[in-house]
């Protein structure tokens, strides 16, 4: 590692992994991967826009409408959905800055309910969790998270649970989070080890 004399590196680190930037890298990586899937006509999966309540809009002459007052809304569903190999895909993605566990409060109850409803209707539903400090990304079938949610009286899920119940998602610089490779394996190949379809 080289210490940059002008401190550039430190700033770059702060921007990339500080509290402000954290949580955005997984999203950026998934968006890039989805764009790759879209370009290759592999799947049509998009992130939903951030839900906001718009209160005030200005219409300055000769320019675009400008929203001058709006508030973030709590999302009622998950962030990503779309279609792959004829199946409806639905998932939520979360980054976790802790090394030993994932706090369950990161996921809202209505998101759990939404994933359950999707599964009842035949969706491929899951979570993507990244442990940022370990640089490990897992795909967890929704039925397992839902089951944990209802059967454990804990406020967080230990990291070891992800090793046992999740599937590591690998990637490269073109598709940083190649989650469909995992989806292929566990939802489309015979003998896949999730309880898909039996929920």
Q: Which positions touch a copy of itself (CB under 8 A)?
A: 38, 41, 43-44, 46, 48-52, 54, 64-73, 76-77, 81-90, 114, 117-118, 120-123
Length in residues, the chain: 199
89 vs 157, which CB is nearer to a copy of itself? Answer: 89
87 vs 156, which CB is nearer to a copy of itself? Answer: 87
* Contact (CB, 8 A) for 67 and 102: no
Chain-centroid distance, C-alpha 178: 12
68 vs 100, which CB is nearer to a copy of itself? Answer: 68
| Least distance (Å) between residue 58 CB and a copy of itself | 10
The single-letter DSSP state of residue 164 is: H
Spatial distance between the Cα atoms of 55 and 60, rounded to a whole number of angstroms: 16
| Least distance (Å) between residue 143 CB and a copy of itself | 16
| Least distance (Å) between residue 164 CB and a copy of itself | 29
Q: Which helix (H) or strand (E) holds 70?
A: strand 66-72
Spatial distance between the Cα atoms of 159 and 14, rounded to a whole number of angstroms: 25
| Least distance (Å) between residue 105 CB and a copy of itself | 18
Q: What does the block give as tokens for 38?
A: 């879209």
| Least distance (Å) between residue 29 CB and a copy of itself | 19
14 vs 65, which CB is nearer to a copy of itself? Answer: 65
Cα dihedral sign, 110-112-113-119: positive
16 vs 54, which CB is nearer to a copy of itself? Answer: 54
Four-point Cα dihedral 133, 194, 199, 78, nearest 10: 30
């Amino acid at each position: 590692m080289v210490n940059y004399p002008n401190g550039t590196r430190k700033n770059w680190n702060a921007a990339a992994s500080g509290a402000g930037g954290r949580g955005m890298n997984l999203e950026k990586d998934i968006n890039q991967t989805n764009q790759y899937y879209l370009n290759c006509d592999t799947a049509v999966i998009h992130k939903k826009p951030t839900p906001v309540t718009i209160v005030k809009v200005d219409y300055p002459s000769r320019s675009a409408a400008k929203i001058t007052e709006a508030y973030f809304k709590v999302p009622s569903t998950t962030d990503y959905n779309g279609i792959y190999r004829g199946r409806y895909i639905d998932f939520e993605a979360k980054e976790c800055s802790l090394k030993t566990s994932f706090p369950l409060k990161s996921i809202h109850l209505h998101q759990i309910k939404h994933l359950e409803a999707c599964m009842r209707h035949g969706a491929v539903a899951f979570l993507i969790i990244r442990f940022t400090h370990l640089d490990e990304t897992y795909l967890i079938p929704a039925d397992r998270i839902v089951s944990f949610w209802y059967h454990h009286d804990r406020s967080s899920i230990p990291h070891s649970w992800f090793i046992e119940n999740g599937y590591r998602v690998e990637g490269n610089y073109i598709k940083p989070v190649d989650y469909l490779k995992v989806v292929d394996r566990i939802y489309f190949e015979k003998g896949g080890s999730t309880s898909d379809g039996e929920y």
